[in-house]
Chain A
Amino acid sequence: MEETITSKTTVEIRPPVTNIGVIGWMRANLFNGWFNSILTLAMLYLCWQTIPTFIDWAFINANWVTTSDQCKASDGACWSVVTSNIRFILFGFYPHDLQWRPLLAVVILVGLLIYSQNRNHWKKSLGYIWMTGLFVMGLLLKGGLFGLESVESNNWGGLPLTLLLSVFGLTAAYPVGIILALGRQTKMPIIKSFCVVYIELIRGVPLISLLFMSSVVFPLFLPEGMTVNKILRAQVAIILFTAAYIAEVVRGGLQGINRGQYEAAESLGLSYFQTMRLIILPQALKIVIPPSVSILISAFKDTSLVVIIALYDLLKTTQTTLTDPKWMGFSAEAYIFVALIYFVCCFFMSNYSRRLEKELDTGL
């Protein structure tokens, strides 16, 4: 049987008002069935109970710049613990009147990171900019040149130390991880087994024990009179640790690449390293952006474990502040402040990774 198709002008019909707009959204997302409606109401009640209390505590009744005694008398939050000790929390034992130097170093570092976000800036010149930036930062922290007073690295602490350990730890761990991943994939038996043993060994050990070994056990093997800087030792431990995790993530990405990509590259006459650098790694690393960033974020937070080898990173300086009898008992406020700093950094990383993913998406 044949149907005749008649063409008529279509009148534009709007969807029913309950399906779109605010009402439609609420229906679909908040009051979609009796169970969800109850949940919504329960959550609203919970918010109504907690949020005003928190706002009262954190903002309305809060003490911003007071003495500890005034704080103790009040029932609001005591942000004074942060404001009064901010310089110690941020810079640790760095000499008080030289603290503009680590501050400037941190500003340079953040500036460099923001500048490098833009993929249009990924050129050779970026490398030189970083090298100059690092040199200036090192100079600012260490001093001893151009009339800057020398500051021992034992006195470094707080935010600059945390950022130093993380930024260098993560940027150095990534290439090491890639090399390990490639090593684990090769057919050369010695390199392959070295990489497998390394990765499995490091992943099987907690970071704390690595840090501990680097600070206590490692110096025992050094010839007498020879020392390696404590920060450097912790830094190396962090790099080695993170690299093992990165290696496994990168290996996953490598396995996601079709065999045909290798064949196409090889049949053009590209060498192994060219194939990896130009064809395989760019694709594999793009696939593993989300898990890599997870690792970077957790590694960033793990740098706080350096407290166990008596380095005064951001978390340790905060804890030390709280051992001052004057400020004891205000740990919530102090930790919220540190948590905010950590959160801002981590949020920056994950936000950036999402943007990068979108920019690198070429539709395949």
Chain B
Amino acid sequence: MADTPIIQIEEMHKWYGDFHVLKDINLTVNKGERIVICGPSGSGKSTLIRCINRLEEHQRGKIIVDGIELTNDLKNIEKIRTEVGMVFQHFNLFPHLTILDNLTLGPIWVRKTPKKEAEEIAMYYLEKVRIAEQALKFPGQLSGGQQQRVAIARSLCMKPNAMLFDEPTSALDPEMVKEVLDVMISLAQDGMTMIVVSHEMGFAKSVAHRVLFMDGGEILEQNEPNEFFNNPQHERTQLFLSQILD
């Protein structure tokens, strides 16, 4: 793993009104690094990754993505969003467009790729998430797991330098979790930089370089997975792990 930082967060704070959601966040993610963030609900983990592509605004500190600092400059925000893919808990596919059109939308309108080429890219990634035969269906006709795989493929079509996953499997029926995790694992094997908010501890163990534990808007602990799970330092980490791993 080359030590070129792709995401740098320095002393970042965020408030919702008076409520201090994120407190003094410092995080550097290098190219090719895979990070899993876990923590109890309301701990700010989703908010943190949503700050990285400016779906949420931070009020203090710095976020630098791919050498570009996030400010109010719309051009920069749009640039960063094209470089960082995002996968949502509820998939958020565009229900009025076919799967293929969902995938080609970004390349055609943002990257100005010719339609034919965009469709080739789309089919390549649909192949990769093993769902190519559904290309002409609408999202409503697919199962949750299939929709989430399409959502991952949609992000990949933008050829992002990093991918953010916001609880990608928590809205899925249990039997569909694996098919999505498999896609994410194969993505990891290709060397994609990933930040994943998830409670899938098996995934964290096998794929992550680092696991972060957040609570109360702070990063309380971070470590490589073995150490993190077998030897948690912080008392709240221990409590959290004991609750989800029982």
Q: Does A267 contact B (CB under 8 A)?
A: yes
Question: What does DSSP make chain A's interface, helix, strand, loop or mixed?
Answer: helix
Tell me the nearest residue of chain B to A259, going by C-beta.
B92
> Which of A70-78, A230-238, A270-278 interfaces with chain B?
A270-278
Task: Tell whether A269 pairs with B110 under 8 Å between CB atoms, given A362-B140, A364-B139.
Answer: yes
In the complex, are the beta carbons of B140 and A363 less than 8 A apart?
yes
Contact A267 B55 (CB under 8 A): yes
> Do residues A267 and B109 form an inter-chain contact, with CB atoms below 8 A?
no
B78 at the A/B interface (Cβ < 8 Å)? yes
Complex: chain B residue closest to A279, CB-CB = B94
Docked Cα-Cα span, A263 to B87, in Å, equals 10
Q: Within the complex, what minimum Cβ distance (angstroms) separates A254 from chain B?
A: 14
Give the CA-CA distance A6 to B79 in the complex, in Å.
Answer: 66
Q: A264-B88, A274-B109 are in contact. Are A269 and B138 (CB under 8 A)?
A: no
Q: How far is the CA of A77 from the CA of B110 in the complex (A)?
A: 66
* Interface membership of B197, Cβ < 8 A: no
A27 within 8 A of B: no
Contact B140 A260, beta carbon cutoff 8 Å: no
Q: Does B180 contact A (CB under 8 A)?
A: no
Q: Choose one: A267, A271, A362; the contact of B96 (CB below 8 Å).
A: A362
Question: Are A283 and B95 in contact, CB atoms less than 8 angstroms apart?
Answer: yes
Residues A268 and B96 in contact in the complex (CB < 8 Å), given A362-B138, A363-B140, A364-B140: no
> Which residues 127-171 of B sit at the A interface, judged by CB distance below 8 A?
138-141, 151, 154-155, 158
CB contacts (< 8 Å) of B216 on chain A: these are none
CA distance A362 to B151 in the complex (A): 18
Nearest Cβ distance between residue B92 and chain A, in whole angstroms? 4
Report B-chain residues with C-beta under 8 Å of the C-beta of A260.
Answer: 88, 90, 92
B93 in the interface (beta carbon within 8 A) = yes
Given A363-B140, A364-B138, A270 and B110 contact (CB-CB distance below 8 Å)? yes
Of the residues B84, B86, B109, contact of A270 by C-beta under 8 Å? B109
Decide if B81 is an interface residue (CB 8 Å cutoff). Answer: yes
Across the interface, which residues of A come within 8 angstroms of B155, CB to CB?
Answer: 267-268
Q: For the complex formed, measure the closest distance between the CB of A267 and the CB atoms of chain B, giving whole angstroms.
A: 4
Q: Which of B53, B74, B105 is in CB contact (< 8 Å) with A267?
A: B53
Neighbour of B141 across the interface among A266, A286, A363, CB < 8 A: A363
A283 to B93 CA separation, bound complex (whole angstroms): 12
**Bound-state Cα–Cα, A195 to B158, Å:** 36
Given A363-B138, A364-B138, A364-B140, check contact A269 B78 (CB 8 Å). yes
User: How far, in whole Å, are A286 and B88 apart by their CA atoms in the complex?
Assistant: 24
Chain B residues positioned under 8 Å from A264 (CB to CB)? 86, 88, 92-94, 151
A264 to B138, CA, bound (A): 16
Tell me the complex Cα distance, A171–B110, Å: 30
Complex Cα gap A278–B93 (Å): 13
Residue from A268, A282, A363 whose CB has the most chain B CB atoms within 10 Å = A268
Given contacts A268-B110, A269-B106, A363-B141, whether A286 and B96 have CB atoms under 8 Å apart is yes
Most chain A C-beta atoms within 10 Å of own C-beta, residue among B82, B93, B95, B141: B95
Which residues from 68 to 106 on chain B have a C-beta closer than 8 Å to any C-beta of chain A? 74, 78-79, 81-82, 84-86, 88, 90, 92-96, 105-106
In the complex, 24 of the A-B residue pairs with CB atoms within 8 angstroms, ordered by the A residue number, are: A258-B92, A260-B88, A263-B55, A263-B86, A263-B92, A264-B93, A265-B94, A266-B55, A268-B105, A269-B81, A269-B110, A270-B105, A270-B106, A271-B78, A274-B110, A278-B105, A279-B94, A283-B94, A283-B96, A362-B95, A362-B96, A363-B141, A364-B139, A364-B140
**A278-B109, A363-B140, A364-B138 known; 7 other A-B pairs, CB under 8 Å?**
A260-B88, A263-B86, A263-B88, A264-B92, A268-B106, A269-B81, A282-B96
Q: Which residues of B contact A (CB under 8 A)?
A: 53, 55, 74, 78-79, 81-82, 84-86, 88, 90, 92-96, 105-106, 109-110, 138-141, 151, 154-155, 158
Chain A contact residues, CB within 8 Å of chain B: 258, 260-261, 263-271, 274, 278-279, 282-283, 286, 360, 362-364
Q: Top 9 nearest A-B pairs by Cβ distance?
A: A363-B140, A364-B140, A364-B95, A269-B82, A264-B92, A260-B92, A268-B106, A267-B86, A362-B138
